[in-house]
Structure 1
């Protein structure tokens, strides 16, 4: 039987690092490949048009700012911090432009499992689940594990 794929959402937050560590342990048990995914978006205020109905202007960023490169750097640092350099070398990493929930659902197509933290950088501390984890649990094409933090 061929090994499958476990997709884990990573945004650099501590809950996503816990999810990454959990997913890596699960991949070790099942022999599945581990794919760490980070979604990124341009800030809406950085490119929105001046009035409703007008076409939005393309993003204007300083030349030294590349959001995709920043996402790759953040993902690389998160994977290495969570798993160590040796284990991190075997993790497939994907940075995708788009909303986090949609990106994770698309990457989860054909996966054995989707793993997310209970809330990410934008999570409200009192919430039991963040908006992304709640959305993917309702719409994922595969089983989902939501890794909760301490108390």
Structure 2
């Protein structure tokens, strides 16, 4: 569990430094470990970080897929309040996205999310940086709430 937490903290550090692809990849590594040890709470934290990044980068398909995954994960955790919160987001999205498209995203949520992670990994790999290299110093963004 320590390795999972360390990766999660590194992901948040990368996010705070605006190294979003690095944050996505590190959160994914932490998420994978959480799945191996059935740490649903840790999984939810990493999925929520990814969701936040998808929202900031306007990757709507990955955002919607993550909402479905988080809803289902919180249902497994018997966290009805969070399930209802994600259901509310889904209802809002349903007014903007055609039903058949929404159903496709729900049915393929994990593979859609994985595709976007692979794209982030390709972009990050193109930088030549090591995944565990500290991100560059953040640039102050007054619009971004931390």
Higher relative CO (CA 8 A, sep ≥ 6), structure 1 or 2?
1
More strand by percentage: 1
TM-score normalised to the size of structure 2?
A: 0.27
| The structure with more radius of gyration | 1
TM-score normalised to the size of structure 1?
A: 0.27
